[in-house]
C-alpha cells in the first residue's frame, strides 16, 4: 500500500485481517499531512484528506506515545477475530502494535488515543467514499 504514497512521507500504516471474511476491516496509509488512502474490504479506495486539526491531533498522539506501548497485545480467541496492526514511522525506527478486537481493553491510554485519532480519520474517509459512490453502478 505504501507504493501509492512516497514512503518517506508515510506517518502511519494500519492493516487488518481476519474476521468472518478473512479480509479484516480494511487497510490505511496516512501521511504526516493527514492525507492518504483507506482501502475497504470490498476493494474500494477512499481518499484521506483530513483537516489540519485532525492531522495535528494524530501527530500529537503519535509523538506523545511512549515507545514501550508499541508492542503485541493479541490474546488467544475465536476464529472470527479481527487483528489490527499499526505501524508508526515517525522519528527513529518504526514502531508497531498488534491487537485483536478482544484485546482492545488491554491497550494503554496513549495507544488508545492513537487508535481513536485514526478512527476519526477513517470514519470521515468512509463517509466521503459513501457520499461519492454511484447509487446506480453499471454492471
Residue 52: how many CB atoms within 10 A of its CB?
A: 9
Count of the separate structural domains present in the chain? 1
- pLDDT by position in tens, the chain (length 139): 444 445 558 889 999 888 887 778 889 998 877 788 888 888 888 887 766 678 788 889 998 999 999 999 988 777 788 899 999 988 778 999 999 888 888 899 999 999 998 888 888 877 877 765 544 444 4
Q: What is the pLDDT of residue 133?
A: 55
Q: State the residue range of the domain holding 54.
A: 2-132
The answer to the question of residue 138 being in a domain is no
Q: What is the pLDDT of residue 38?
A: 86
Q: What is the pLDDT of residue 4?
A: 45
Distance between CA atoms of residues 84 and 24, nearest Å: 8
pTM of the model: 0.79
59-87 core/surface letters (b: 16 or more CB in 10 A; e: else)? bebbeebeeebbeebeeeeeeebbbbbbb
Read off the CATH number of the domain in which 114 is found. 3.30.1560
The answer to the question of residue 26 being in a domain is yes
Written as one string, the DSSP assignment of 82-114 is EEEEEEE-SSSS-EEEEEETTSGGGS-HHHHHH
**72 near 97, Cβ under 8 Å?**
yes
The answer to the question of residue 139 being in a domain is no
The answer to the question of residue 137 being in a domain is no
Amino acid at each position: 500500500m505504501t507504493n501509492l504514497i512516497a514512503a518517506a512521507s508515510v506517518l502511519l500504516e494500519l492493516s487488518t485481517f481476519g474476521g468472518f471474511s478473512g479480509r479484516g476491516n480494511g487497510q490505511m496509509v496516512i501521511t504526516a499531512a493527514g492525507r492518504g488512502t483507506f482501502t475497504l474490504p470490498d476493494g474500494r479506495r477512499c481518499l484521506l484528506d483530513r483537516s489540519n486539526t485532525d492531522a495535528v491531533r494524530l501527530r500529537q498522539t503519535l509523538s506523545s506515545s511512549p515507545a514501550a506501548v508499541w508492542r503485541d497485545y493479541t490474546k488467544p480467541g475465536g476464529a472470527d477475530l479481527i487483528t489490527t496492526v499499526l505501524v508508526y514511522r515517525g522519528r527513529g525506527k518504526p514502531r508497531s502494535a498488534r491487537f485483536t478486537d478482544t484485546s482492545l481493553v488491554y491497550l494503554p491510554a496513549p495507544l488508545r488515543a492513537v487508535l481513536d485519532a485514526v478512527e476519526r480519520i477513517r470514519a470521515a474517509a468512509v463517509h466521503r467514499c459513501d457520499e461519492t459512490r454511484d447509487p446506480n453502478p453499471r454492471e
